[in-house]
């Protein structure tokens, strides 16, 4: 018995799907891109630049606690540190965090602290960003103090609230992590420092 035309089943064609087929190759490309980004980030952080959070109040008003700064790790491969540079370094004392301070004297220079002021090689050395009097901190550091070869002498800009070379002496150049070149956080305090 033949089926009437009205009831004859017709093959149903599914509409074409807009979803692309699952591709392991696409996932592999994404994983490769992420791995490359991580490698570039690690290399940049190890050898070129790093972000550092200021954890002390010793550099106020230049740098406030919780400011974020960008630190160049390549500057001192081409030039030597100079007075006025703000550096991040690991001091030769027991501490869990790197310090952020201003270099005020370099190897071969003689530091004196007189009448609350900084004198280097017999001349007043003034940085306009600093505040407070510059007084000795420990009897072990005798003035005039000659900075040894391969070392630098640091002070915080907030002179009365800073543990610096007045406490632990000059520091070796090889303790420097890098030079602060940019304060980028918070955004309203963004500033480039002299390179």
Structural domains for the chain: 53-192 (2.10.109.10)
**Is-above-0.85 flag for pTM?**
no
Please say if 101 is a catalytic residue. Answer: yes
Out of 58, 72, 162, 165, which one is annotated catalytic?
58
Exposure of 107 by Cβ count < 10 A (0-12 exposed, 13-18 middle, 19+ buried)? middle
Examine residue 144 and say whether the peptide bond preceding it is cis (omega within 30 degrees of 0): yes
The DSSP 8-state label assigned to residue 44 in this structure reads: I
What does the pLDDT profile of the chain (195 residues) look like in tens digits? 555 555 555 555 655 556 566 677 777 767 767 766 666 656 555 555 688 788 888 998 989 899 988 888 887 878 889 999 999 999 998 888 899 999 999 999 999 999 899 999 999 999 998 998 889 888 888 999 999 999 999 999 999 989 999 999 999 999 999 998 888 888 888 777 765
Out of 72, 101, 162, 179, which one is annotated catalytic?
101
Please say if 72 is a catalytic residue. Answer: no
What is the Cα–Cα distance from 1 to 124, expressed in whole angstroms? 117
The DSSP 8-state label assigned to residue 55 in this structure reads: -
Burial 52-85 (b: 16+ CB within 10 A, else e): bebebebbbebbeeebebbbbbebbeeeebeeeb
């Amino acid at each position: 018995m033949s089926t009437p035309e009205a009831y004859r089943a017709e093959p149903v064609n599914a509409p074409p799907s807009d979803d692309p087929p699952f591709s392991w190759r696409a996932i592999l490309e994404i994983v490769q891109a992420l791995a490359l980004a991580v490698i570039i980030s690690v290399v940049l952080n190890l050898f070129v630049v790093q972000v550092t959070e200021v954890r002390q109040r010793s550099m106020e008003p230049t740098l406030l606690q919780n400011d974020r700064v960008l630190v160049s790790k390549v500057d001192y491969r081409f030039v030597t540190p100079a007075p006025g540079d703000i550096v991040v370094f690991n001091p030769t004392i027991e501490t869990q965090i790197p310090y952020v301070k201003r270099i005020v004297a370099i190897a071969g220079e003689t530091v004196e602290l007189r009448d609350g002021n900084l004198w280097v090689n017999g001349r007043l050395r003034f940085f306009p960003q600093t505040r407070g009097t510059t007084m000795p901190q420990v009897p072990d550091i005798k003035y005039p103090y000659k900075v040894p070869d391969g070392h630098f002498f640091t002070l915080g800009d907030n002179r009365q609230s800073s543990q610096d070379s007045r406490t632990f002496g000059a520091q070796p150049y090889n303790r420097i992590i890098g030079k602060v070149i940019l304060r980028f956080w918070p955004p309203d305090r963004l500033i480039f420092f002299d390179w």
